[in-house]
């Protein structure tokens, strides 16, 4: 009996947790490289908005029935290209 469920971006294999980590990092780098205070504030607002929306999406699709709902499983060998998929 297959009881697996997929929601929204999960069907596209969207790396949600990675994106939630990289958006604030990219925003910080963009703010450090910005020339004016206004640009820095706009970048900070957009980065915060994107992170907030992705966090809200993560909360909405959270499956309490499955304790391993957001665990990424990969091997180091597959990343380095030793194992052909």
- Residue pLDDT, tens place only, 55-74: 998 888 776 676 555 555 55
Total domains, the chain: 1
Sign of CA dihedral 79, 80, 81, 83: negative
Q: Quickly tell me which residue has 């194992």 as its tokens.
A: 83
Residue 7 within any structural domain of the chain: no
23 part of a folded domain: yes
In terms of pTM, does the model score above 0.75? no
2 lies in some domain? no
Count CA within 13 A, CB hemisphere, residue 64. Answer: 2
Judge whether 22 lies within some domain: yes
pLDDT value of residue 47: 96
Specify if 71 maps to a domain: no
Structural domain that includes position 21: 14-66
């Amino acid at each position: 009996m297959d009881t697996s469920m997929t929601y929204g971006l999960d069907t596209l294999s969207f790396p949600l947790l990675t994106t939630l980590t990289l958006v604030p990092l990219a925003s910080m780098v963009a703010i450090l490289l910005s020339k004016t205070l206004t640009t820095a504030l706009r970048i900070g607002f957009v980065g915060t908005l994107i992170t907030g929306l992705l966090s809200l999406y993560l909360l909405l699709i959270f499956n309490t029935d499955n304790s391993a709902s957001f665990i990424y499983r990969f091997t180091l060998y597959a990343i380095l290209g030793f194992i052909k998929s």
